Amino acid sequence: MIKLKPSVEKLQAYFVNDIPYRVKLDANEGSNYLLQDGFKIENFQPNLYPDSDSRVLREKMAVYYGCRAENIMVGNGSSEMINMVINAFCDKGEKVMSFVPSFSMYQTYCDLCGAEYIGIPSEKDFTQNIDKLIKEATENKTKIVILCNPNNPTGFMYTRTEVIKLLENVKDSLIILDEAYVDFSENSVVDLVDNYENLIVMRTLSKAFGLAGLRVGAMIAKEETIKYVWKVKVPYNINILSQYAAEQALDNIERVKSYIEGVKKLRQELSFTLRKLDFTVYESGANFIFVKAPVENLFEKLMDCGVLIRKFNYGGEVFNRITIGTKEENEILVEEIKSIMGGNQ
Ligand code: PMP
């Protein structure tokens, strides 16, 4: 067997659960509310490569994100672009910083290219101190700072003013604002990409559009940055079917907006219900909530009844992340939790 390079050999493969389920609340996917009846394809030519520039898709995204098509590059999910940007900018040993806990793939992408990943601990209550990040980023001569806002898995959300404070104070690092969940809050800084040449905003259709299966994400930045990063873009990275489907999804922005409002309401209702059941529920700006359950092994017990959530271990304690499902899915979740807790709640 030919050996992998040592930095890759030590990596853990991204593990995805494939156990049977009734209700799937473990991966922050949205509901199946757009395109569930399919999408139209005109003049289908699968013999040809897709539009490598995804021109039509970028123009439609530009309307939603409030920028120009020239500010956008699309990728096979925002994951592809986070990986691409880290790889394009970081040589071996250069530093990439984010808060921890956060999206685990940041560290993996750093390991892949030999960049040094530095995790800045969140506070005990999972809030994040922006001044601490500014100080550490500056003192460590960090090449890239990644801010996940709202943060996965904690749901913690910075205000725009705080994000702007980071942008104003850290000018020598590339700043990736991972806004995968920002549609569920109001704190995007996507409108500022022309003001800060070191800002790259990552967005995705996987969450608020409920289209994780299409694998379509967007990187939004100053036109010069986009042109620069285009050097490392894989040609034809969005297949023809995903381009068609995503373009048609973007013609339904009003439905997306009303879906987002629905999720926020359900997030509030589920948080309220779980707090009444003695859960600690952290404030969330995303389509999931981060909780500390009053019972042990909630993840395993729910899995036994076909309800999938996520489990995290921090500082010797167990926490769970629960995606906000449909009203019916949330009801099943709550019923199962009540029965696990003794049926007398
Ligand atoms: N960023 C964050 C914070 C995420 O949680 C995820 C998906 N779990 C992604 C990026 C990647 O999303 P996608 O590749 O589906 O666009």
Read off the pLDDT of each residue in 86-110 and give the average, rounded to a whole number.
Answer: 96
Check whether residue 246 and residue 100 sit in a common domain. Answer: yes
Give a yes or no: residue 47 inside a domain: no
> Which of 202, 221, 251 is at the close of a domain?
251
Q: Place 161 in a pLDDT band, splitting at 50, 70 and 90.
A: very high
How far apart are alpha carbons 227 and 221 in whole angstroms? 10
Phi, psi (deg, nearest 5) at residue 276: -65, -25
How close is the Cα of 178 to the center of ligand 1, in Å? Answer: 8
Give a yes or no: residue 41 inside a domain: no
> Which of 190, 224, 251 is at the close of a domain?
251
Give a yes or no: residue 49 inside a domain: no
Provide the domain count of the chain: 2
Q: What is the pLDDT of residues 50-64, one digit of tens each?
A: 999 999 999 999 999
Q: Place 19 in a pLDDT band, splitting at 50, 70 and 90.
A: confident
Check whether residue 295 and residue 224 sit in a common domain. Answer: no
Alpha helix positions (H), the chain: 6-9, 55-65, 77-89, 105-113, 130-139, 160-169, 223-229, 240-249, 253-276, 298-304, 327-340
Predicted pLDDT of residue 117: 97
Q: Is the pLDDT of residue 344 over 50?
A: no
Check whether residue 247 and residue 258 sit in a common domain. Answer: no
Check whether residue 287 and residue 224 sit in a common domain. Answer: no
Give Dmax (Cα) for the chain: 62
How close is the Cα of 287 to the center of ligand 1, in Å? Answer: 12
Give a yes or no: residue 212 inside a domain: yes
Q: Is 330 a pocket residue for ligand 1 (Cβ < 6 Å)?
A: no
Give a yes or no: residue 303 inside a domain: yes
Q: What is the pLDDT of residues 269-291, one digit of tens each?
A: 999 999 999 999 999 999 999 99
Predicted pLDDT of residue 159: 94
Check whether residue 232 and residue 316 sit in a common domain. Answer: no
DSSP string, 135-172: HHHHHTT-SEEEEESSPTTT-----HHHHHHHHHH--S
> Which of 232, 251, 270 is at the close of a domain?
251
Of all residues in the chain, the percent with pLDDT exceeding 70 is 99
Of all residues in the chain, the percent with pLDDT exceeding 90 is 91
Give a yes or no: residue 63 inside a domain: yes
Check whether residue 328 and residue 187 sit in a common domain. Answer: no
Which of 178, 181, 284 has the most ligand 1 atoms within 8 A of CB, as the residue to mutate?
178
Which CATH number fits the domain that encloses residue 283?
Answer: 3.90.1150.10
Cβ pair 248, 35 in contact under 8 A: yes
Check whether residue 214 and residue 116 sit in a common domain. Answer: yes
Q: What is the pLDDT of residues 300-310, one digit of tens each?
A: 999 999 999 99
Give the number of C-alpha atoms closer than 13 A to the C-alpha of residue 35, restricted to the C-beta side.
25
Give the number of C-alpha atoms closer than 13 A to the C-alpha of residue 99, restricted to the C-beta side.
28
| Best CA proximity match to 155, nearest among 102, 96, 98 | 102
Check whether residue 102 and residue 241 sit in a common domain. Answer: yes
Show the domain range for 287. Answer: 6-30+254-340
How far apart are alpha carbons 287 and 304 in whole angstroms? 24
Predicted pLDDT of residue 87: 93
Check whether residue 175 and residue 300 sit in a common domain. Answer: no
Which CATH number fits the domain that encloses residue 196?
Answer: 3.40.640.10
Cα angle, residue 128 at apex, residues 123 and 134 outer, rounded to 5°: 120
How close is the Cα of 165 to the center of ligand 1, in Å? Answer: 24
Check whether residue 65 and residue 132 sit in a common domain. Answer: yes
Check whether residue 200 and residue 106 sit in a common domain. Answer: yes
Which of 78, 107, 128 has the most ligand 1 atoms within 8 A of CB, as the residue to mutate?
78
Any residues with CB less than 8 A from the CB of 288 and at least 6 apart, and which?
A: 25, 28, 152, 153, 155, 181, 321, 322, 323, 324
Check whether residue 166 and residue 68 sit in a common domain. Answer: yes
How close is the Cα of 109 to the center of ligand 1, in Å? Answer: 13
Give a yes or no: residue 188 inside a domain: yes
Give a yes or no: residue 48 inside a domain: no
Q: Is the pLDDT of residue 345 over 70?
A: no
How far apart are alpha carbons 21 and 309 in whole angstroms? 10
How close is the Cα of 171 to the center of ligand 1, in Å? Answer: 25
